[in-house]
Amino acid sequence: MLANCYLVHGSDAEQNFKIVSSIKVQAKEQGYHNYEIFEINKQFAWEKLFEHCQNRDLFADKTLLDLRITVDSLNKDANEHLSKFLQQYVNDPSFCILVSAQQLKPAAQNTKWFKTLQANGKVHLSRSLPPVFKLTNAVLDGDMPQTIKLLKSLKNSGLEPILILWGLTREVRQLLNVKYAQQSAKRHQQRALDRLSSTQLHDLLRFSSYIDTIIKGIQPGEAWNSLSILCLNFANPTQTPLPIMEDLAICNQA
């Protein structure tokens, strides 16, 4: 059921986009065929927003109003205008009001407009995942392009390879636990379980142990190259097979 109003904010722009897109689809399905965007910045003319709503044709389709806050914080006048607007239209059946922002400061939660949205609708707060978990989610989903992109970004950021290895081996062990205990899998996990057998998961652990010896300087090798092989095999085992461990052992003894 569509709420009267929504607030979508937080540091994860991708997640915000997905939430907003879902609200737009739901609104259209429930008869809100008009869609209007208003970007709220320091120069925003609030009177135009009020006039737009007041002069609306009584026989027009219902409207989803997308109010996008594009500044870090609203000044006193803007807070008052937004509060007044919401109090006037938040329960108007002609409108569904969607307020979105990248990152609201804590003080915003004490404003009248925030409390009005909270009391009459739904508030969605997104938080950015740590980089390692973004990578593990991409790997679990089998998203090869995103996996490659994130690997390059993490390498350029100077992140220690051991942290990435920890995140990947943690996910493999959790998948094995789900398999053996026959537990219900999460969405990301189920996608990985659909393509990876128990044997393949154990092979990933074996190769992870080999990478650990490279990182610790016990075995020769390039950690990032080996991590790339591990991630890509995890994401798509048929496209990127793991090296045969016995061959690696022979090479290292030579």
Same domain flag for 104 and 169: no
- Could you tell me which of 101, 106, 151 has the C-alpha nearest to residue 131? 151
pLDDT at site 241? 86
In this structure, are residues 90 and 97 in contact, taking their beta carbons and an 8 Å threshold?
Answer: yes
Taking the C-alpha atoms of residue 25 and residue 208, their distance in angstroms, rounded to an integer, is 42
Boundaries of domain holding 40? 5-126
CB-count exposure of residue 229 (10 Å: 0-12, 13-18, 19+): middle
Q: How far apart are CA 188 and CA 175, in angstroms?
A: 10
Choosing from 74, 97, 126, the residue where a domain stops is 126
What pLDDT is stored for residue 1 in this prediction?
83
Q: Are residues 146 and 116 in the same domain?
A: no
CATH number, domain of 163, equals 1.20.272.10
Pair 159, 248 in one domain:
yes
Q: Are residues 119 and 167 in the same domain?
A: no
Residues 138 and 239 placed together within one structural domain of the fold? yes
* CA 98 from centroid of its chain's CA atoms: 19
**Are residues 84 and 139 located together in one domain of the fold?**
no
Q: Are residues 182 and 217 in the same domain?
A: yes
| Domain closes at, from 85, 108, 126 | 126
Q: What is the pTM of this model?
A: 0.61
Report pLDDT digits (tens) over 119-162: 999 999 988 778 899 999 999 999 999 999 999 999 998 889 99
Q: What CATH number does the domain containing 42 carry?
A: 3.40.50.300
Q: Identify whether residues 38 and 107 lie together within a single domain.
A: yes
- Shared-domain flag, residues 153 and 199: yes
Do both 239 and 141 map to the same domain?
Answer: yes
Q: Looking at the structure, do residues 154 and 114 belong to the same domain, yes or no?
A: no
The pLDDT of residue 248:
58
Q: What pLDDT shows up at residue 104?
A: 87
pLDDT at 128: 74
* Distance (Å) of CA 208 to CA 48, 244, 246: 60, 13, 14
Which one of 126, 161, 189 terminates a domain? 126
Q: In the prediction, which pLDDT does 250 show?
A: 41
Residues of the chain with pLDDT under 50: 250-254
For residues 141 and 249, state if they share a domain. Answer: yes
Per the structure, the count of domains in the chain is 2
- Side chain identity at 162, as an amino acid letter? I
